[in-house]
Amino acid sequence: MLNCPMHMDQWHSHLLGERVDQSSLVIQGNRACALGALDAGVRFFAGYPISPSSEIMEAMADRLPAAGGVFIQMEDEIASICACIGAALTGELAMTATSGPGFSLMQEALGYAIMVETPLLIVNVMRVGPSTGRPTAPSQGDVMQARWGTHGDHPAIVLAASNVADMYRLTMAAVRFAQRFRTPVILLADQLVGQMRESFSPELIGRYRLTSGDFDFTPGYIHPDLAREVHRPHVLGSGSHPHVTGLFHDDTGFPTNDPEKSDSFLRELYNKVAHHRNELCLYDVKNEGKGRVCIVAYGSCARTARAAWKLADQEGLPVEVLHLYTLFPLPVEIIQQVARRVEFMLIPELNLGQYAHEVRKMAEQWTTVIGMGKIDGTLFTPREILDRIAELIGKYESV
């Protein structure tokens, strides 16, 4: 691999966005994702064109050669993720980006990456509907696919971006998580977040702290809690010559049919994520402890939720917002903590209640969980959410 001849970050940000002053950029969400990936050290991208994610790929095609990295447009999304896994197994930081149909094609190889414990970033800029759907309209319809799309029991780390700054910082977080846990991380965005333009400051990104409080965006960050190491990394080359297989395998890397070894292998795979939930669950609470209703939101709906909260504040409605950046592993602790203190949890989603169902399982013994779904390719308005809140509180009071 060729070395980067200079501090490329300056020139990447200069070329991918439009500088408004010394520290701020106006930049498209998809390009901010590419910038975050480059700043996080991603040096391998293989992908296949698909709306509304292609700008990530185009930005990588433009910037990776100068950074001494590899960019390839493959023949399909299956080949794209496989090439990424191949590169990642040599120790390279690799990523791909796609949308629903491409994400569906990647599922088998995604399971392989989990099984052989390969760090990898997969960005899914969601479009609405099954099949081809509407490629240029936003949705959150792939949430459960991100969790359970590949076959068999498996761990999953899924993050959701709600704005351009998220596209940068959550890309970086996803890369760190992937490296640390040696597993693929899925970053969900949607057409709105991916293709909108917003200002943000990559230089000041360290200030964006999330409430979980223990994640640092500085390069080389390693979480102090290294209680459980993941399996021996497979790195092709660099002195070792391991065998890598998607079959159940033991510590030697070779296949095993031993039931006991199979069980402990899969449980360890699962638990390496489950046991680090607190580190992985990134979220933000607004108006903490002051609401009778909590809007639980992620992705572009979190933007609407925040706007609704501000309106609610003006109108004297007691509302708090739980903005989730990590969807999986499930943020059980914070959901249950909030559930214990509010009367309603309202979950606006651009799907038919995929995540509301998860929240209901965690919270319904303490609170009433209400889903709000939209699948027409448009967004909620803050007023729609607020009206629903007023209705819920009104209904409660009339009882």
Partner 1 sequence: MPLDIEQYLHTERLPHMWCAGCGIGIVTGAFLRAMVDLGLKREETVVVGGVGCSSRAAGYVDVGTMHTIHGRALAFATGIKMARPEFTVIVLTGDGDGAAIGGNHLIHACRRNIDLTCILFNNQVYGMTGGQVSPMTGWGDLATTAPYGQVETPFDLCRLAEAAGATFVARGTAANIRPVEEYIKQGIQHPGFAFIEAVVPCPMEYGKRNAPGGVLAMLDDEKARSISKAEAARLTPEELEDKIVTGVLHHKVGRPEFQRSYASIVARAQAEAAEQAETLQSESGGAVS
By the criterion CB under 8 A, which residues form the site for partner 1?
1-2, 5-6, 8, 10-11, 14-15, 22-23, 44, 46, 65-66, 68, 70, 72, 74-76, 78-80, 82-90, 92, 94, 108-109, 112, 203, 236-247, 254-255
Tokens representing residue 78 in the block: 């299956």
CB of 93 to partner 1, least distance (A): 10
CA distance 23 to 44: 27
CB of 222 to partner 1, least distance (A): 23
CB of 6 to partner 1, least distance (A): 6
CA distance 102 to 80: 10
Of residues 69 and 299, the one with the C-beta less far from partner 1: 69
Of residues 102 and 133, the one with the C-beta less far from partner 1: 102
CA distance 243 to 347: 45
φ, ψ for residue 97 (rounded to 5)? -140, 145
Tokens representing residue 54 in the block: 């292609």
Which residue pairs, CB below 8 angstroms and at least 24 apart, start in 2-9? Answer: 2/68, 3/68, 4/67, 4/68, 5/68, 8/38, 8/63, 8/66, 8/67, 9/38, 9/39, 9/202
CB of 163 to partner 1, least distance (A): 23
Of residues 116 and 370, the one with the C-beta less far from partner 1: 116
Residue 366 carries which DSSP code? T
Of residues 87 and 359, the one with the C-beta less far from partner 1: 87
Of residues 219 and 237, the one with the C-beta less far from partner 1: 237
Report yes or no: 294 and 374 within 8 Å, Cβ to Cβ. Answer: no
Of residues 96 and 162, the one with the C-beta less far from partner 1: 96
Tokens representing residue 244 in the block: 């890598």
CA distance 219 to 190: 27
Q: Which residue has the tokens 């960005």?
A: 123
CB of 303 to partner 1, least distance (A): 29
CB of 82 to partner 1, least distance (A): 4
Helix (H, G, I), strand (E, B) or coil at 199: strand
Residue type at 197? Answer: R
Q: Which ranges of 128-185 does DSSP label H, i.e. alpha helix?
A: 143-148, 164-181
Rounded to whole angstroms, what are the CA distances from 166 to 9, 160, 170, 281? Answer: 18, 8, 5, 15
CB of 396 to partner 1, least distance (A): 52
Of residues 1 and 222, the one with the C-beta less far from partner 1: 1
Of residues 5 and 316, the one with the C-beta less far from partner 1: 5
In a 13 Å sphere around the CA of 71, the CA atoms on its Cβ side amount to 19
Of residues 71 and 215, the one with the C-beta less far from partner 1: 71
CB of 7 to partner 1, least distance (A): 9
CB of 296 to partner 1, least distance (A): 36
CA distance 37 to 174: 9
Tokens representing residue 73 in the block: 């447009």
Specify which residues 255 forms β-bridges with: 249
